[in-house]
Amino acid sequence: MDAEEFRRAGHEVVDWIADYRSRLESLPVLAQVEPGWVRERLPAELPEEPEPFDAVLADVDRVVVPATTHWQHPSFFAYFPANASLPSVLGDLVSTGLGVQGMLWATSPACTELEQVLMDQLVAAMGLPESFLGGGVIQDTASSAALVALVAALQRASGGKWRAAGVDGSETIYVSSQTHSSLAKAARIAGLGEEAVRAVPTGDDLAMSADALEAAIAADVAAGRRPVLVCATVGTTGTGAVDPVRAIGEVCARRGVWLHVDAAWAGAAAVCPEHRGMLDGLELADSYCANAHKWLLTAFDASLFWTSRPGGLVDALTILPEYLRNPATESGAVVDYRDWQVPLGRRFRALKLWAALRTHGLSGVRAHLRGHVELARKLEGWVEADPRWEVVTPRTLSLLVIAVRGDEAATRRAVESVNAGGEAYLTHAVVGGRYVARVAVGAIGTQERHVRALWEALRAAV
């Protein structure tokens, strides 16, 4: 494909994406196919001879779109949002077109320095602690952020010996029953195993108890264990619960334990000053993450990770073979982001985030976030006015957890009915052993009429 062929096919692709986004509302949100549906419609072998790009797009329409769950649909209320705004799609296209492999500063100075500047700008835009300046990096997901935080915490807890000696079986990390599963996976990958993970009790609000955390750490220390990391969550996946960051941070400070704060979804809301109270005490954290690809208008994947201890992170992860040596690295004047993550290679992710933030402006981002919070507030009012339904846990930002009063089976039927109908998609959680419905408002095109239609469909199903 030469430049002119690319130009023609590229216009077709952009037109296709624009048409797809325009007709999203007419498509079922949840893919209406059975396992094996895609396989049955694809040839068993790759073509021997070249095919035109038109044939690829034709099969996207024929096979891919019908078997896609449409995360950008305005009636997508499941999990958490995945805001692939069109400016971020264009930024991603530019990044892919450049074809940068940004493992070192030397392999693309712009890839490194734009990311550094952008992450520092976001510290100011989100009201984050100044201790995070110079400590920002874009990971792929919050799972990777949790893993690198754990590795840095292990290096710190071992007095710098973890990289050479590994773990000795005495290490412990602390989460709650509401913490994302990525922390348990990180413990497995780092060689700690699930036995190292402590589930700290929560209160009625499903937030981690700082007093229970202190007691758990004290018991482990008395038993000869080595506390390594605590993960506090701001906006848990199940219910949006907010752990008390300040109280937990004070425990960690007294005990010399690394505090990682996971705000993968809710962290975006810090762009709005009125929501920054959830992060009170963040200056006590050693690391923090918020996913731009959830609610910050940026196509997957882009997880914002900051640490106030970048030297410890680099110390834990640096390996410098001869073939990566270069004058810029040897000078010590640059950052090589390969030392801030698990993989060696890295994409130019900052471009899509930069494109989204510049074309929306901070005022546009705030309007985006505030609009979703207001829609969830309206849904909350409708639920409270219906005697058959109830709000199960306090609303957090744009996440609402609801259920049919006294009838768990009816709640399940309502969720399954809505999802089967294809007009909307939501997921569930279990709170206190009870099946409940989660409504996460956050898709870019969601308007009040979409939330109203969801609510009417839930009511009609019981």
Q: Of all residues in the chain, what percent are helix, strand and coil, respectively (each to 5)? A: 50, 15, 35
Q: Measuring CA to CA, which residue among 203, 177, 80 is closest to residue 430? A: 177
Please report the pLDDT score of residue 165 as a whole number. Answer: 83
* Both structure tokens of 429: 């959680």
* Both structure tokens of 295: 């609610």
b vs e for 18-36, b when ≥16 Cβ sit within 10 Å of the residue's Cβ?
Answer: eebbeebeebbbbbeeeee
pTM value is: 0.96
Q: Measuring CA to CA, which residue among 316, 317, 312, 367 is closest to residue 338? A: 317
The pLDDT tens digits for 348-379 are 999 999 999 999 999 999 999 999 999 999 99
Q: Give 124 or 177, the one with higher predicted confidence.
A: 124
* Both structure tokens of 30: 């949840």
pLDDT of 163 over the 90 cut: no
Q: What is the spatial distance between Cα 233 and Cα 74, in angstroms, rounded to a whole number?
A: 27
Average pLDDT, integer, range 326-337: 94
What fold does the segment set 100-347 form as a domain?
Aspartate Aminotransferase; domain 2 (3.40.640)
DSSP secondary structure of 202-265 = B-TTSPBPHHHHHHHHHHHHHTT-EEEEEEEEBS-TTT--B--HHHHHHHHHHHT-EEEEE-TT
Please report the pLDDT score of residue 160 as a whole number. Answer: 87
SS3 290: strand
Q: Which of the 8 DSSP states describes residue 76?
A: B
Contact indicator for 201, 194 with CB cutoff of 8 Å: no
SS3 389: strand
The pLDDT tens digits for 35-68 are 999 999 999 999 999 999 999 999 999 999 999 9
Q: What is the spatial distance between Cα 269 and Cα 275, in angstroms, rounded to a whole number?
A: 6
pLDDT of 227 over the 90 cut: yes
The pLDDT tens digits for 369-422 are 999 999 999 999 999 999 999 999 999 999 999 999 999 999 999 999 999 999
Average pLDDT taken over every residue of the chain: 96
Write down the domain spans for the chain: 100-347
Please report the pLDDT score of residue 105 as a whole number. Answer: 96
Of the pLDDT bands very low, low, confident and very high (cuts 50, 70, 90), residue 162 is: confident
Average pLDDT, integer, range 224-248: 97
Average pLDDT, integer, range 282-286: 98
Contact indicator for 45, 94 with CB cutoff of 8 Å: no
Please report the pLDDT score of residue 166 as a whole number. Answer: 83
Question: Could you give the percent of the chain with pLDDT greater than 70?
Answer: 100
* Long-range contact pairs involving 373-378 (C-beta distance under 8 Å, separation at least 24): 373/269, 373/397, 373/398, 373/441, 375/441, 375/446, 375/447, 375/448, 375/451, 376/400, 376/439, 376/441, 376/451, 378/448, 378/451
Please report the pLDDT score of residue 194 as a whole number. Answer: 87
